[in-house]
């Protein structure tokens, strides 16, 4: 029973969490933050950044000495070399050796130092790449968020038109029933009502698609019940529209991460030329070694030699007499492992100088490639600046056009609202027919829709320009 209650509680909690998620209304900041956090491309860029950081750490560590230990165990049968005496013997030998080696580069044309500097520059470029991707995702999210807001306002306006038309349907029906208007007027206004209801369906579909587009930009897995906050959105200040393009461009060059990333890669290419040039210089390194060995056939004296007598040594005196030499018996024993390790201990150190003279022209062509890469990186910087300037030019034209369109749409709506109010009064008293009424109402509907579209387009275009000026999107 207790286990059943726990499972029931878990189901209730999960259901509550899902319900809370479905009822949550997302702000623009929440949408942007979620989109950035869950974007796969940004996650991959973070990995690339970590790879660049690891490369920089490795290049820093390469400036320290290399230290390696080695050990070996050998079993030799038959004629072989005794590792402790380097003498050929015909015996089974069990040998062992160990060594500790170290080497350090003292000078190699400053390649290590320049490689470290280059990898740090590459790391900075990778971080700017991440910032560029974040900006792109944020911009797309803002655009889709504003599209949803437009969809909501458009749907509200469509519902409002349905309510107005419904009142007219009721009013005309009363007049038709009273005999003051012909039946055709009612049919016309009911036809208009069907058109307005169709507009509501179209607005609902547009809003539904806009919500789907936003959730896809955010990489939101569960879109059921997703909705956003609908704050009152006013037209922001349009002072950016009067700023010269060159001034906006100058500001953007100093803050846009894509420019910084391309400039970092240009600096990296310059370091690449320096690294390649360093291959012409000599390489100086120092090394040291500690070693020892052991052999199973190693022998040592066991006590003092014992005198055993005299024996001819093969030589004669001037008178022809045999010369005798004393002989000694020598007792030996196996040298202990610890003694061999101590006695055979060897230390060595030295320096090594390598001077490049001819290496198949590889250094020459490496330097040539590095110079070409530097030139290409410089062109990439120029290209990024050119793309940025053209984008700013286009953004400024788009913003100016959107401003003019919004201004014209505002005037059109004001004029048509006045016209429609006058037409509605005349229609209510039977001075004009339903055809004239519907024509005026449809003109107002189109103008209001145009005003809504131009409003959100202008908001987005101004935000783009402000972004190039260093102002945050949200």
In a domain, residue 340? The reply is no
Burial (0-12, 13-18, 19+ Cβ within 10 Å), 391: middle
Do residues 322 and 459 both lie within one domain? Answer: no
Do 258 and 179 lie in one domain? The reply is yes
- Three-class SS state of 31: helix
Q: How far is CA 300 from CA 81, 291, 336, in A?
A: 18, 21, 9
Reference 166, options 402, 383, 158; nearest CA is 158
- Residue 13 maps to a domain: no
For residues 143 and 464, give the distance between their C-alpha atoms in angstroms, rounded to a whole number. Answer: 10
pTM (predicted TM-score): 0.80
Last residue of a domain, one of 316, 334, 352: 334
Helix (H, G, I), strand (E, B) or coil at 318: coil
Which burial class, exposed, middle or buried, applies to 6 when counting CB atoms under 10 A from its CB (0-12, 13-18, 19+)?
exposed
The total domain count for the chain is 2
**Separation between Cα atoms, residue 25 and residue 418, nearest integer Å:** 37
246 and 147, same structural domain? yes
Residues 458 and 384 in one domain: yes
Any bridge partners for residue 94, and if so which?
75
In a domain, 304, yes or no: yes
Sign of the C-alpha dihedral computed for residues 136, 142, 148 and 153 taken in this order: negative
For position 181, which CATH number holds?
1.20.1600.10
Does any domain span residue 369? yes
Which residues of the chain are under the pLDDT cut of 50? 1-22
Check whether residue 181 and residue 317 sit in a common domain. no
pLDDT for position 178: 80
> Tell me, what's the pLDDT at 22?
47
Same domain, 123 and 190: yes
Greatest CA separation for the chain: 175
- Pair 308, 377 in one domain: no
Of 107, 62, 5, 23, which is closest to residue 352 (Cα–Cα)?
107
Tokens of 242: 């009067």
Sign of CA dihedral 135, 136, 138, 142: positive
325 and 400 in a single domain? The answer is: no
Q: Which two tokens stand for residue 191?
A: 């036809």
Residues 305 and 439 in one domain: no
Contact in structure between 227 and 211 (CB atoms under 8 Å)? yes
| pLDDT for the residue 14 | 40
357 lies in some domain = no
Q: Are β-strands 25-26 and 66-76 bridged in parallel, bridged antiparallel, or unpaired?
A: unpaired
Asked if residue 78 is part of any domain, the answer here is no
pLDDT score of 2: 44
| Together in a domain, 276 and 161 | yes
pLDDT on residue 334:
77
Which three-class secondary structure state does DSSP give residue 364? helix
Q: Where are the beta strands (DSSP E) in 16-152?
A: 25-26, 66-76, 79-81, 88-90, 93-107
Taking alpha carbons only, the member of 256, 262, 260 closest to residue 392 is 256
* Spatial distance between the Cα atoms of 339 and 294, rounded to a whole number of angstroms: 9
Predicted confidence at residue 83, as pLDDT, reads 62
171 shares a domain with 50 = yes
Give the integer Cα–Cα distance in Å for 169 and 187: 9
320 and 448 share one domain: no
State how far the Cα of 335 lies from the Cα of 430, in Å rounded to an integer. Answer: 130
Quick check: is 452 in a domain? Answer: yes
Q: Which domain holds residue 417?
A: 27-64+107-280+362-468
Query: Per the domain annotation, does 150 fall within a domain?
Result: yes
């Amino acid at each position: 029973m207790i286990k059943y209650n726990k499972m029931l509680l878990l189901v209730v909690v999960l259901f509550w969490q899902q319900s809370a998620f479905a009822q949550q209304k997302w702000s623009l900041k929440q949408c942007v933050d979620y989109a950035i956090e869950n974007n796969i491309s940004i996650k991959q860029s973070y990995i690339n950044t970590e790879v660049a950081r690891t490369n920089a750490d490795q290049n820093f560590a390469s400036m320290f000495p290399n230290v390696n230990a080695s050990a070996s165990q050998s079993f030799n049968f038959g004629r072989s070399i005794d590792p402790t005496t380097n003498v050929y013997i015909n015996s089974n030998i069990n040998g062992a050796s160990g060594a500790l080696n170290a080497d350090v580069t003292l000078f190699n044309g400053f390649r290590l130092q320049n490689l470290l500097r280059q990898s740090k520059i590459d790391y900075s470029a990778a971080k700017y790449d991440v910032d560029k991707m974040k900006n792109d995702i944020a911009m797309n999210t803002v655009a889709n968020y504003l599209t949803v807001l437009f969809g909501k306002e458009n749907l509200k306006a469509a519902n409002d038109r349905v309510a107005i038309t419904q009142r007219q349907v009721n009013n005309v029906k009363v007049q038709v029933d009273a005999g003051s208007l012909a039946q055709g007027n009612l049919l016309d206004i009911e036809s208009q009502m069907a058109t307005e209801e169709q507009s509501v369906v179209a607005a609902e579909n547009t809003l539904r698609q806009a919500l789907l587009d936003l959730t896809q930009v955010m990489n939101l897995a569960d879109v059921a019940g997703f909705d956003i906050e609908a704050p009152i959105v006013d037209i922001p200040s349009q002072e950016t529209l009067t700023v010269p393009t060159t001034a906006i461009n100058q500001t953007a060059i100093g803050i846009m991460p894509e420019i910084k990333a391309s400039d970092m890669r240009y600096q990296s290419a310059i370091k690449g030329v320096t690294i390649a040039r360093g291959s012409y210089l000599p390489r100086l390194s120092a090394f040291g070694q500690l070693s020892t060995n052991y052999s199973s056939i190693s022998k040592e004296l066991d006590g003092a030699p014992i005198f055993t007598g005299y024996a001819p040594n093969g030589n004669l005196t001037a008178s022809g007499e045999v010369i005798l030499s004393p002989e000694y018996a020598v007792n030996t024993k196996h040298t202990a492992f610890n003694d061999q390790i101590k006695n055979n201990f060897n230390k060595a150190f030295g320096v090594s100088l390598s001077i490049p003279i001819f290496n198949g022209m590889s250094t020459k062509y490496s330097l040539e490639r590095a110079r070409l890469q530097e030139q290409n990186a410089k062109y990439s910087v120029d290209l990024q600046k050119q793309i940025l300037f053209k984008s700013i030019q286009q953004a400024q034209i788009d913003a100016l056009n959107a401003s003019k369109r919004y201004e014209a749409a505002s005037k059109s709506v004001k004029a048509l609202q006045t016209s429609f109010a006058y037409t509605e009064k005349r229609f209510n008293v039977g001075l004009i027919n339903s055809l004239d009424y519907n024509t005026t109402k449809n003109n107002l509907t189109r103008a209001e829709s145009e005003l809504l579209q131009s409003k959100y387009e202008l908001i987005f275009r101004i935000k783009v320009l402000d972004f190039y000026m260093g102002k945050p999107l949200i």
